[in-house]
A and B are shown apart, each in its own frame.
Chain A
């Protein structure tokens, strides 16, 4: 019996009538791969449920209960303004180096997304910024500007954002390692996608690890996590000053030589 994915999914979700279900039951007995597929569908459901189930046991915040318990005029005026800026303590765990690639380097972005939830302020566009675009952190403001045009060889010592290393990743995209103020020990990697620079990695140092990686440059304070990231992604050598200047003048286009 030829069972479509759609039908099998409906079966796993309990959406079939008695007759259809019996037919699939029969097919499952004969076809181990079908049975495995159903098990997979069910295991995803179980996994999702077991993660979200404990929320049902949590105490409900009083502010929500208060909305429903009070009576009389003015009851609907909540005392707390939703989406007030608040200090966000993100507890996203540090992913070990080996798993980092499994989850993708968007981990840092996911942390940023969380942070953004608490950020209301819009600030001057001359500052280094990140913006969430379609679930990806994209460089804006001074950060985008620096990534576009600031060259490691010629940058000012007082630049707010410093460019450390530029390289091409295995997919051929240009990527640049940037860092915050000297001494801040904050660095990230942004890679060119289309006309944007997407944040790939973000970490803090120093003391993040004393082990200097192969691409660590003398004056830089690039955290180990960033170096590890670069080492795993880089194809060939980092760009030298000349290659970097050429890449910048070609707009960091992937196809450029």
Chain B
């Protein structure tokens, strides 16, 4: 139980920034994203011996993070998270900022994608995995990966349009 190699701990520490980034592409709210990373790390430490040393540790972690998030989504669905009308006020954005920042626009657009498309977009376009690596991480055939990626891209393009200073 205590045999988690120090080298693996260190590698995970080194990966943390990227794992947090990946979680943020999946989960809209930052604190929730870190919660997902935390759960994933706990799971990874519990079953570290399942990781195959000849495979990428980051891909293994991406898969665990994604599964942790899917589990959380399912749990929320079961709970039927609801909010009272008296609490609605808290949901209204503060006034003052009149323009949506690029950051908000992009994160909002990402949040509109179905989870499977978002994950594909995130792994390939943000984390920079190859199609093959991303497909293996998501445990789907490459053809499925590319079609999710294409649909995700198309949706993002529609939501975001061209950046203001597009030069093409």
Residues of A within 8 A of B (CB): 5-6, 9-10, 13, 15, 36, 39-41, 43-45, 47-49, 51-53, 55-58, 60-61, 63-65, 67-69, 71-73, 75-76, 78, 80, 82-83, 86, 88, 90-96, 99, 102-103, 106-108, 110-120, 122-123, 127-132, 135, 140-143, 160-161, 180-181, 184, 186, 188, 202-204
Identify the B interface with A (CB < 8 A).
Answer: 1-2, 9, 12-13, 16-18, 20-21, 24-25, 27-29, 31-32, 34-39, 41-42, 45-46, 72, 76, 79-108, 110-112, 121, 124-126, 130-131, 146, 149-150, 153, 156-157, 159-163, 166, 168
Partner of A119, one of B9, B46, B82, B85: B82
- For residue A242, give the distance in angstroms from its CB to the closest CB of chain B: 28
Q: Which of B20, B39, B85, B107 contacts A82 (CB 8 A)?
A: B39
Instruction: Choose from B2, B16, B86, B157 the contact partner of A64 (Cβ within 8 Å).
Output: B16
Q: A93-B98, A117-B29 provided; 14 other pairs, C-beta below 8 A?
A: A9-B149, A36-B168, A56-B18, A60-B16, A64-B20, A69-B13, A103-B159, A114-B29, A115-B90, A117-B28, A117-B32, A128-B85, A131-B81, A202-B92
* Nearest CB on B from A76, distance (A): 5
Q: Contacts A65-B16, A131-B82: A92 and B38 contacting too (C-beta < 8 A)?
A: no
Tally of A-B Cβ pairs under 8 angstroms: 220
Shortest B7–chain A CB gap in Å is: 12
Majority secondary structure, B binding face: helix
The answer to whether A103 and B126 have CB atoms under 8 Å apart is no
The 26 listed contacts between A and B (C-beta, < 8 Å) are A9-B146, A39-B168, A43-B162, A52-B126, A55-B20, A64-B34, A65-B13, A68-B12, A76-B42, A90-B91, A92-B93, A94-B93, A95-B99, A95-B100, A106-B112, A110-B111, A111-B93, A113-B111, A114-B29, A116-B83, A119-B81, A119-B82, A128-B85, A131-B80, A132-B81, A202-B92
Contacts of A140 in B (CB 8 A): 82
Chain B residues with CB under 8 Å of A52's CB are: 21, 24-25, 126
Distance in Å from the Cβ of B149 to the closest Cβ of chain A? 8
Given contacts A40-B168, A44-B153, A131-B82, contact A180 B88 (CB under 8 A): yes
Report A-chain residues with C-beta under 8 Å of the C-beta of B130: 15
Q: Are A9 and B83 in contact (CB under 8 A)?
A: no
B106 nearest CB neighbor, chain A only: A51
Question: Contact at B82–A123, with CB atoms within 8 Å?
Answer: yes
B61 to chain A, nearest CB (A): 12
Q: Identify the 3 closest CB pairs spanning chains A and B, nearest first.
A: A128-B85, A82-B35, A93-B97
Residues of A within 8 A of B95 (CB): 94
How many Å lie between the Cα of A73 and that of B12 in the bound state? 19
What residues on B are CB-neighbors of A160 within 8 Å?
85
User: What's the least CB distance linking A248 to chain B, in Å?
Assistant: 20
Question: Which residues from chain B contact A78 at a C-beta distance below 8 Å?
Answer: 38, 42
